[in-house]
Amino acid sequence: MLSKKLHEAINAQINAELWSAYLYLAMSMDAEDKGLKGVANWFYVQFQEENDHARIFMNYLNSRDAKVTLLPIEEVPATWDSVLAMFTQTLEHEKKVTSLINNLAAIANEDRDFASINRMVWFIDEQVEEEESAREMIAAVEAVEGNKYGMYMLDKELATRTYTQASPLASSAD
């Protein structure tokens, strides 16, 4: 059985994951509006991943016989000055999410809830990947900054990114 503190924190995390999805959807739409279909695709894949993360937490609460409570999603920004600004905000946001996940792991550890600790390990590993990906994108955008052809080629490369369902969902019966 989940502690009340962990149960409430996971419900808050579901809201944070859905907010993240909404943020990346907004970035995707802004990039699309700017004619950057590849950048839009990159952020749309992020949107799908964040929805998966929320679903993994929902499935986890359900598996522990704990009620999922969906909270209102706060407004997200709608436009960014540049692609670099999008990826810079992405990195800062992912660092915040890492902090939230680490807090969940700390609560599970305090509770000696080994099942929850195990679930959080997947998210901790995922956050390492998310931050690394954002840093790589910042470096790529900075490398072509001011070079229209370079941005064109980067945009074409980002258009090839595909969505892969998160492993905890791919292996579940959902």
Each domain of the chain, given as residue ranges in start order, spans: 4-163
pTM: 0.94
In angstroms, rounded to a whole number, what is the distance separating the alpha carbons of residues 23 and 44? 10
Q: What's the CATH class of domain 4-163?
A: mainly alpha
The structure tokens listed for 112 are 């000696």
CB atoms within 10 A of CB 34: 16
Contact criterion met (CB below 8 Å) for 140 and 154: yes
Longest Cα–Cα distance in the chain: 56
The amino acid at 39: V
* Residues 14-71: tens digit of each pLDDT: 999 999 999 999 999 999 999 999 999 999 999 999 999 999 999 999 999 999 999 9
* Residues 119-167: tens digit of each pLDDT: 999 999 999 999 999 999 999 999 999 999 999 999 999 999 999 888 8
CB atoms within 10 A of CB 147: 11
Q: Which of 169, 163, 128 is nearest to 48 (CA)?
A: 163
